[in-house]
């Protein structure tokens, strides 16, 4: 609201017959220019991608609206300014002031960066938020990213993802032996231990890779996004849950120097817009994933739960991978492990007697209204 009010005042001053020179002196141009910021938000998402992509657009719009246009944010899809996985460097170097992506894309910068997105058999979305905001996660994330000139915020979540699309039925851990799988992050290390061969396939090429047999199985996100890629047309089985992403936190990264220079009100606007997005995006996925799942089932997809025996094998393999990662971790990496596990214990214990038990109870055979 700053702009219009200033304009109105200037007109008022003029009409009040204040000398033109005095009016010019009262509103020196640079002072006004400083108050209007136009920022670029680069993202790792294809243009208009539902969920993560449109969610990033909502964050930008809310910052723009809450600041009354004093901080205008324009969103750029992957490839428009920088490629999908280069937001981190682009924001650090100031090519863009902010970015929306996921910390696990930055494993090349630091091995424990993925913790702020997801860890195999780790935290649900709500528990991730609990660790970040109330369990010391934010402080460690700040410390880690400050080394790269960035200020990070948790700014979205897809919720629990699916294990993915399979051309054959999964029964035991042995079914992974020799399987060619598209899977990213630490989950890829886990399925390798079960005997799979991991194949790197960009999102836009998953359909073709499944179709021509380059891979036997592939994971991307969940029903809402996977349906958009048409993956149901090239694989019959759709397994959940995805041990590799119990939830997937998204991040808003801001160039730290520019963030530190913002007035306090704009700093708070950015921080609160990010936190609201954690609720906002996840809520969108919760409903749209459910609707897409129903649609996929109608079209013939066989939706199935991963058998317990296989889940246990995945859990122990995840434990092995994480133990080795911890042994190799540097000082801050070890602190991240410690802090994460300290939150995982109590948070998952309450989930078990609370939400998890309630969701299980809700699935029992009672008579409800329809």
Is residue 245 part of an annotated ligand binding site?
yes
Of 341-360, binders to a copy of itself (CB under 8 A) are 341, 343, 345-360
Q: Among residues 139, 169, 291, 330, which is the contact residue for a copy of itself, using CB under 8 A?
A: 291
C-alpha span between 260 and 280 (Å, rounded): 26
Handedness of CA 44, 115, 223, 155 (dihedral sign): negative
Which C-beta is closer to a copy of itself: that of 7 or that of 204? Answer: 7
Strand order from edge to edge, sheet including 197-198: 197-198, 180-182, 217-218, 164-166, 237-240, 302-305
- Taking Cα atoms as reference points, which of 120, 102, 103, 245 lies closest to residue 193? 120
Quick check: 246 and 118 in contact, CB under 8 A? yes
Q: Least CB distance from residue 18 to a copy of itself, whole Å?
A: 5
Q: Does 223 bind a copy of itself (CB under 8 A)?
A: yes
Q: Least CB distance from residue 332 to a copy of itself, whole Å?
A: 17
Q: Does 3 bind a copy of itself (CB under 8 A)?
A: no
Q: Among residues 42, 77, 90, 132, which is the contact residue for a copy of itself, using CB under 8 A?
A: 132
Task: From 84-92, 93-101, 120-128, 174-182, give the range in contact with a copy of itself by CB under 8 A.
Answer: 120-128
Cis peptide upstream of residue 241 (ω within 30 degrees of 0):
yes
Which C-beta is closer to a copy of itself: that of 99 or that of 242? Answer: 242
Task: From 9-17, 167-175, 194-202, 253-261, give the range in contact with a copy of itself by CB under 8 A.
Answer: 9-17
Please work out the total of residues on this chain that contact a copy of itself, with binding judged by CB under 8 A: 107
Q: What is the token pair recorded at 188?
A: 């890829």
* Helix, strand, coil percentages for the chain (3-state, nearest 5): 55, 15, 30
Cα of first residue to Cα of last residue in the chain, in angstroms, is 47
Q: Does 265 bind a copy of itself (CB under 8 A)?
A: yes
Residues annotated within a binding site: 161, 182, 219-220, 245
């Amino acid at each position: 609201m700053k702009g219009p009010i200033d304009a109105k005042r200037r007109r008022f001053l003029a009409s009040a017959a204040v000398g033109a020179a005095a009016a010019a002196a009262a509103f020196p141009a640079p002072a006004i220019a400083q108050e209007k910021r136009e920022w670029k938000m680069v993202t790792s998402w294809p243009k208009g991608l539902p969920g993560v992509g449109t969610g990033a657009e909502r964050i930008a719009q809310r910052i723009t609206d809450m600041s009354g246009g004093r901080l205008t944010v324009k969103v750029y899809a992957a490839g428009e300014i920088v490629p999908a996985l280069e937001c981190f460097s682009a924001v650090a170097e100031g090519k863009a002031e902010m970015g929306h992506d996921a910390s696990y894309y930055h494993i090349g910068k630091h091995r424990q960066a993925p913790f702020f997105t997801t860890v195999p058999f780790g935290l649900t979305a709500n528990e991730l938020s609990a660790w970040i905001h109330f369990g010391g996660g934010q402080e460690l994330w700040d410390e880690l990213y400050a080394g790269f000139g960035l200020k990070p915020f948790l700014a979205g979540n897809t919720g629990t993802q699916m294990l993915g699309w399979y051309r054959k039925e999964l029964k035991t851990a042995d079914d992974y032996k020799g399987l060619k799988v598209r899977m990213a992050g630490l989950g890829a290390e886990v399925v390798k231990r079960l005997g799979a061969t991991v194949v790197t396939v960009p999102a836009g090429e998953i359909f073709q890779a499944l179709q021509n047999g380059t891979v036997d199985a592939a994971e991307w996100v969940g029903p809402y996004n996977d349906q958009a890629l048409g993956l149901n047309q090239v694989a019959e089985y759709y397994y959940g849950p995805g041990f590799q992403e119990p939830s997937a936190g998204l991040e808003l990264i801001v160039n730290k120097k520019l963030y530190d220079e913002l007035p306090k009100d704009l700093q708070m606007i950015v921080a609160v817009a990010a936190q609201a997005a954690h609720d906002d995006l996840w809520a969108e996925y919760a409903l749209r994933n459910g609707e897409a799942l129903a649609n996929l089932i109608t079209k013939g997809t066989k939706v199935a739960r991963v058998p317990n025996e296989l889940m246990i094998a995945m859990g122990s393999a995840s434990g092995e991978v994480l133990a080795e990662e911890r042994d190799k971790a540097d000082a801050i990496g070890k602190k991240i492990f410690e802090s994460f596990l300290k939150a995982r214990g109590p948070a998952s214990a309450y989930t078990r007697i609370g939400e998890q038990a309630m969701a299980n109870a809700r699935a029992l055979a009672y008579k409800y209204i329809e």
